[in-house]
Amino acid sequence: MAPILPLLSGLLSLAVFSHSAVAAPATEALNKPHDNNTYEYIVVGSGPGGGPIAANLAKAGHSVLLLEAGDDQTQNVNVSQWTNFLLSGNDPATRWDFFVKHSDDEARESRYIRTTWRKPDGGFYVGLDPPAGSKRLGIYYPRAGTLGGCAMHNGCLTMNPNDLDWDDIARITGDESWSAKNMRKYLVKLENAHYNSTSPHGHSGWLDTTMLDSGFSSNPDAKTMIELASQASGFQISEASDLQQRDMNGDQANRDSLVGPFGGVSHIKPDGRRSSPGYYVKETVDAGKYPLTLQLESLVTKVIFDKGDTPKAIGVEYLKGKSLYSADPRSNPNDKGTPGKAYASKEVIISGGAFNTPQILLLSGIGPKAQLKKFDIPVIVDNPDVGRNLADNYESSMLSLAARDVNGPGQIFPSFFKTTVGKIRDIYMWCGGFSFEGFWPGFPQDHGPKQYECAIVHMNPRSQAGSVTLQSANPRDVPNINLQFFKDGSEKDLQAIYEATSWVRSWLGKAPTTAGSIGPFTEMHPCEGVVGSQNCTVESQKTYIKEQAYSHHATSSCRIGEVLDSKFRVKGVKGLRVVDASSFPKVPGGFPVLPTMMLSEKATEDVLADAKKY
């Protein structure tokens, strides 16, 4: 296991990548734009969906233009040192600020404690009592509009979903290549695993993975809590030491029902630097021997079609300029950008993420006819499901204050899986001396050195009724996003989160309470009071969970099934694919970044298989 990563200062002095800012001459020669700016492939967006496939296609010898709206922050220490991820999440150099709704119920929306407002002076106000004249923005939802996408500011947790999540895609599409067994091969291919596991892993891929040190052997508080949670999971204390290093990405036959402690696998190099698609793209460009052209600060505004019997995607239009998307806090409406066009002789691949990919398709004329008509967008394909079926994992926090300061504040103690109302494990959580209560400008709130949280992720949400719709035909505007939390299946989903919360309470309540001990804990929410002697009703807790849940794993807004076929091809046109989190039929597992990268590897094969067709 990697040693516990010291926070901030120690790491800042470590060497970071020293990439040259401009491409080497050799690359320029290789990539010399053809007369009419034509490449074999154009990829839009360099996140976990777009970055790997762009690099892979170039490595396979094809000319690729990768267009990315953001700029290059790979050397920004907020980004490159993973322990700075809270800084990077708030960094205006990478941030794209979205504001979403959780439902159509205005009364419920207005009770969301971290509601964000624009004050008359232009700044943000977060809370329920804004200064007069403030405008309600909604629920903050961060994204990273930068080279490498959200994998440049995320928490780096790297989790292969339950096998059933993959097998379900194989079942609904009838395409066996989606089976968990087959998908594992992409995980092994892309990873360079630096941790010990009893399962076979890859050690020569582009994504470095390490297992976080839980603190079990060095931090007595971590040890205490892991042992308590192990026992509450039905294990002996003597097993806790091994369990906290269990591989969440192993190939155990019955992995969907394995519960209890696991080690946290993360896309981090052993020295604490972030590993991600952004660096993979940079390294591929800088190698100077692959036909990959990376064009930053280019906001793609629509796909260009050659209108035959079946329209064929032949290129894209974009606006070149800094921070042109209005979600970028640096954007200035007076900077209009310079229009440009690029052509693809083979295919266009859209990888803008769960909010931007449907926006790009809609702007291009692929989507519900009525919506397109409303904005005078010529219809290429009338498809009611573009921007529909948006879903997200529900997240909740069981936040408490220990009786004294927690050892190693901010440290990530290990993680646990739990099965509640589902047949297989449906809850993932991680606990430690931190506070994470959702997102708002400036998140998180520090509750002092006694804070102790179990962050709870509900996998496989039953509601999938969210939507992304155009607000205007201006590509620089953000779309309307409504996640429709708990619209369907709310009873079971709320019961699942409630059970997970109660389970945490059951072992927090067993913490030692003698003088100087970490316990007793005093819960802050969802049920205020000294753990063990609260008397909140189940209903009041479920109401709290329902109204205050948050999320950051949006997927499925252009999903396989309705919008795409099982090979990522957009239905109704030729030469166009969508490869990113929006492609998933359902939210994959607890954390989407690894599944999205696996999808990018899979799509590489599918695209190459068709390369001779065009």
Ligand X SMILES: Cc1cc2nc3c(=O)[nH]c(=O)nc-3n(C[C@H](O)[C@H](O)[C@H](O)COP(=O)(O)OP(=O)(O)OC[C@H]3O[C@@H](n4cnc5c(N)ncnc54)[C@H](O)[C@@H]3O)c2cc1C
For residue 342, report the phi and psi dihedrals to the nearest 5 degrees: -140, 150
CB of 76 to ligand NAG, least distance (A): 5
- Inter-residue contact 332 to 323 (CB < 8 Å): yes
Partner whose binding site includes residue 34, from ligand X, ligand NAG, none (CB under 5 to 8 Å by kind): ligand NAG
3-class SS of residue 490: helix
CB of 581 to ligand X, least distance (A): 3
Q: Which of residues 477-516 bind ligand X (CB under 6 A)?
A: none
Tell me whether residue 195 or residue 498 sits nearer to ligand NAG (CB atom): 195
Q: Which of 20, 36, 254, 514 binds ligand NAG (CB under 6 A)?
A: 36
Tell me whether residue 405 or residue 562 sits nearer to ligand X (CB atom): 562
125 binds ligand NAG (CB under 6 A): no
Partner whose binding site includes residue 435, from ligand X, ligand NAG, none (CB under 5 to 8 Å by kind): none
Distance CA 338, CA 554 (A): 31
CB of 352 to ligand X, least distance (A): 3
CB of 35 to ligand NAG, least distance (A): 6
Q: Which of 11, 64, 69, 427 binds ligand X (CB under 6 A)?
A: 69
Q: Which of residues 289-328 bind ligand NAG (CB under 6 A)?
A: 314
Q: Which residues contact 32 (CB under 8 A, 6 or more apart)?
A: none
Distance CA 55, CA 58 (A): 5
Distance CA 301, CA 341 (A): 10
Binding to ligand X by CB under 6 A, coded x per residue (else -) over 379-418, reads ----------------------------------------
10 Å Cβ neighbour count for 275? 25
Q: Tokens representing 28? A: 């320029």
Partner whose binding site includes residue 196, from ligand NAG, ligand X, none (CB under 5 to 8 Å by kind): ligand NAG
3-class SS of residue 467: strand
Using alpha carbons only, give the angle 217, 9, 126 rounded to the nearest 5 degrees.
95
Q: Of 388, 502, 424, nearest to 456 (Cα)?
A: 502
CB of 605 to ligand X, least distance (A): 18
Q: Which residues contact 107 (CB under 8 A, 6 or more apart)?
A: none
Partner whose binding site includes residue 535, from ligand NAG, ligand X, none (CB under 5 to 8 Å by kind): ligand NAG
Distance CA 330, CA 334 (A): 12
Query: How many distinct helices (H) and strands (E) make up the chain?
Result: 16, 25
142 binds ligand X (CB under 6 A): yes
232 binds ligand NAG (CB under 6 A): no
Q: Which of 151, 399, 500, 531 binds ligand X (CB under 6 A)?
A: 151
**Residue 329 to residues 99, 124, 312, 603, Cα–Cα distance (Å):** 13, 12, 35, 33
R_g (Cα) of the chain, nearest Å: 24
350 binds ligand X (CB under 6 A): no
Q: Which of 68, 91, 251, 426 binds ligand NAG (CB under 6 A)?
A: 91
Tell me whether residue 343 or residue 452 sits nearer to ligand NAG (CB atom): 343
User: What size, in residues, is the chain?
Assistant: 614
CB of 36 to ligand NAG, least distance (A): 4
Which segments within 321-426 are labelled E, that is strand?
Answer: 338-350, 366-367, 381-382, 394-401, 412-418
49 binds ligand X (CB under 6 A): yes
CB of 320 to ligand NAG, least distance (A): 19
Tell me whether residue 489 or residue 532 sits nearer to ligand NAG (CB atom): 532
Binding to ligand X by CB under 6 A, coded x per residue (else -) over 552-591, reads xx--------------------------xx---------x
Tell me whether residue 395 or residue 493 sits nearer to ligand X (CB atom): 395
Q: Which of residues 342-381 bind ligand NAG (CB under 6 A)?
A: 343
Which segments within 459-568 are labelled E, that is strand?
Answer: 467-469, 480-482, 522-525, 529-530
Q: Which of residues 276-315 bind ligand X (CB under 6 A)?
A: 299-300
Tell me whether residue 4 or residue 259 sits nearer to ligand NAG (CB atom): 4
Q: Which of 5, 11, 44, 193 binds ligand X (CB under 6 A)?
A: 44
Q: Of 601, 611, 556, 560, nearest to 48 (Cα)?
A: 601
- Inter-residue contact 1 to 213 (CB < 8 Å): yes
Tell me whether residue 240 or residue 248 sits nearer to ligand X (CB atom): 248
Edge-to-edge strands, sheet with 95-100:
95-100, 135-144, 116-118, 124-126
- Location of structure tokens 């921007």: 387
Q: Which residues contact 466 (CB under 8 A, 6 or more apart)?
A: 389, 390, 391, 392, 481, 482, 483, 484, 554, 557
Residues that bind ligand X (CB under 6 A): 44-50, 67-70, 89, 142-143, 145-146, 149-151, 153-157, 299-300, 351-353, 356, 360, 552-553, 580-581, 591-594, 596
Residues that bind ligand NAG (CB under 6 A): 1, 34-36, 38, 76-78, 87, 90-91, 93, 194-196, 314, 343, 529, 533, 535
